[in-house]
Amino acid sequence: MNDIEYWDLTSDPTGDTYRALIQSLCTHSDSFYFITRQELPYNQEILKEFDPWIFKRYKTKNWANTATLGPPATVYQMEANKQTCLLLQQSAQSLYDWISPALPEDLTFIKNGFTWFSSTTHEEMAEFLIRSEYYRDIIKSIPGLQVKRTE
C-alpha cells in the first residue's frame, strides 16, 4: 500500500469511544496540536495545563484542513504522552467538544512528521490519512468509532 487512504469520521465519537480514540491517537503519534484564534475566547486554564508539554508555538493562516482569510491562528504543538493523553481525555466528552469558548480547536496528530489525523471541530469534520495496513487496523480496532473510506 503506497497511496494514502482517506477515512472520514461519520459521527462525533463520545464517551468511551472518544477516550479510546484519544488513547489510540496518543499511542501511535509523536506529537499533536490544537489551535486558538485571536478573535475567539478560550479557557486559559486549559492552555496552562498543557503548557509543560508544548514544544512549539507559532502563528499561521494554514493548518491541517484549514486556510483562514482572517487573523492568523496560534498553533500549540506538544508531545503525545501519558500526561497529555489524560488531559485530552479529561478535558472533553467528545471530539467536537474541542471548540471555543471551552477548549482550543482542531486536534491534529502527527507521526514521523506525517499528519495522520486531523479535525476541523467547528465544522464537525475529522479524517484519518492512512499510509499502511497497520494504521488502518488501528482505526478499525477502536470500539464504536464510525468511519468510512473516501476518495
pTM of this structure: 0.95
Average pLDDT value for residue range 109-122: 95
Residue 83: give the domain boundaries. 5-150
As given in the structure block, the three cell numbers for residue 64 are: 491541517
pLDDT band at 135 (very low <50, low <70, confident <90, very high): very high
Q: What is the band of 2 on the pLDDT scale with cuts at 50, 70, 90? A: low
Upstream peptide bond of 101 is cis (omega within 30 degrees of 0): yes
| pLDDT above 70 as % of the chain | 99
Among 43, 140, 50, CA closest to 100: 43
Record the cell numbers describing residue 97, joined without a space: 467538544
Q: How far apart are CA 47 and CA 151, in angstroms?
A: 35
Average pLDDT over residues 120-149: 95
Number of structural domains the chain divides into: 1
Q: Provide the pLDDT for residue 41.
A: 93
pLDDT single digits (tens) 28-52: 999 999 999 999 999 999 999 999 9
pLDDT for position 68: 86
Task: Tell how strand 105-111 and strand 73-79 pair up.
Answer: unpaired
